[in-house]
Homo-oligomer: A and B are copies of this chain.
Amino acid sequence: MTFQVYDTTLRDGAQREGVSYSVVDKLAVARLLDEFGVGFIEGGWPGAVPKDTEFFRRARTELDLKHAVLVAFGATRRAGAVAADDPQVRGLLDAQTPAIALVAKADLRHVERALRTTAKENLAMIHDTVTHLVAEGRRVFVDGEHFYDGYRHDPAYTASVVETALAAGAERFVLCDTNGGMLPSWVTAAITDLTDRIGVAPEVLGMHAQNDTGCAVANTLAAVEAGVRHVQGTANGYGERPGNADIFAVAANLQLKLGLPVLPEGCLEQMVRVSHAIAEIANIAPDTHQAYAGAAAFAHKAGLHASAIKVDPLLYNHVEPEVVGNDMRILVTEMAGRASIELKSRELGLDLAGHPETLSRVTNRVKELEAGGWSFEAADASFELLVRSELPDAAPVRPFTLESYRVLVEHREDGAVVSEATVKIRVRGERVIATAEGNGPVNALDEALRVGLGRHYPELRNFELADYKVRILEGSHGTGAVTRVLVETADGRGGGWTTVGVHPNVVEASWHALVDALTYGLDRARV
């Protein structure tokens, strides 16, 4: 039986607090998921949610999916009604998708207390609705809500729900851990017990895991190891509470660890791009530490073993980062030696192997700065500027020189808080004085610098200060405390870079990071 990778980012994943996709967002996410090669995209609940009705309508003309089948999600008919006459069921057919997913109660307690109907009527609702939709030519999936809790509470009844759905013509019955309380060994045991009890092959079952125990990915894999051949998940694990199974980690594990070719050729390496693009659309900062897809998923603090990593990267990576579209990164940290600096430089496209003297100068400079509290592990752009300053051919162009600056913050008698900065700089031979206000001292300084540079460098307009972090470091070597500032700059086209500044004065530290940020961005724009 074909393995089915079934995505529900746009339906169950949209339950995540704070997420709200427009119809255009949903179309864009569907295209990305298709590029990742999922087999099914559950797009929403047509009829019940107006935005979802609209999504399915526009999808018919605007979505040209290469791999995925679009699925409409809804419920079984109301108690006491007839499926063919139920407007909610009608809404699912009106979406004109090849497949429909129906949620059905699989826990008797929920049937009685939430749905407020009888055990028998619940089975009739499932049978009637599935039969009707199949007769209308739809592929039907049934999601057994609260399957695992129900099966523990009353296995006979929950098993009869599964049997009813399959007998009525459902293509797969999906075992949902709706409350997310399962562990992998429990999943295995429940599936084995169920298939023994009702005499079905596990291939007709599916798995839908929530991450409340931190085991959603593992629970999904456990189901597959028990024979299940349909897995549900969401991009980056977005979903209610701790979220759903992350479809990226699930697919990567199935393909790379269990050897199941669940995605079409060439799709797995789209993962990092698709993952980050969906995060942008959902307006959620990508999780840098996400398994497989995170920016830090293959980042190593090289330290003592830099030379071993250089020779034998696979001794230190569980898979090759390239297969999921990721990169290995070497972090330049305290204890940084020549080998890790060379490795890091190579990653940035700067080959120092042939320049041993430059490598020594850079290494000494990094060590000196790190002793003073600088840290380049999260500031690739500052590190690149530093290395390039030592390379005559590649030295970055400094866009200006500073004469002086002044920043003022006032809490006035009327309670208003104002910040104002003045910079005096030389830009291409010209002396410029510029003043600006801001919502804080660093913002004011940033604004004043942009005013001063703006005429010569109009491309500055695209750069935006995206994040700003401050850390106070205890003094070493008997000196006082210093402040370390990290500035993340966005280029307005989805990219960005991070720079660092260190000084006892937070404003001066921020200034260093800001100047590096603008220098790096302008230099990159120039190339």
Contacts and interface: CB of A to CB of B under 8 A. Distances in A.
Interface of A: 15-18, 20, 22-24, 107, 109-110, 113-114, 146, 179-181, 183-185, 211-215, 217-219, 221-222, 225, 237, 240-243, 246, 249, 252-253, 257-258, 283, 287-292, 294, 296-301, 305, 308, 311-312, 315-319, 331-332, 375, 377-378, 402-413, 417, 419, 439-442, 467-474, 480, 483, 486, 503-508, 511
B114 A305 contact: yes
Contacts of A110: 308, 315
A213 B469 contact: no
Nearest to A48: B335
Contacts of A378: 17-18
A23 to B, nearest CB: 7
Given A407-B409, A410-B406, A183 B218 contact: yes
9 contacts: A17-B299, A17-B378, A113-B315, A184-B184, A215-B217, A237-B289, A406-B410, A406-B411, A409-B507
B417 A413 contact: no
A440 B485 CA distance: 13
A457 to B, nearest CB: 21
Nearest to A312: B113
B311 A375 contact: no
B253 A213 contact: yes
B505 A419 contact: yes
A212 B248 CA distance: 12
Contact of A469 (B296, B298, B470): B470
B507 A257 contact: no
A226 to B, nearest CB: 10
A294 B242 contact: yes
A180 B292 CA distance: 11
Contact of A440 (B113, B317, B331, B505): B505
Nearest to A332: B17
Nearest to A216: B214
A217 B291 CA distance: 13
Contacts of A213: 217, 249, 252-253, 257, 291-292, 318
Contacts of A375: 20
B480 A253 contact: no
Nearest to A329: B17
B439 A480 contact: yes
A92 to B, nearest CB: 17
A165 B480 CA distance: 45
B318 A249 contact: no
Contact of A316 (B179, B237, B258): B179
A252 B180 CA distance: 14
A315 to B, nearest CB: 6
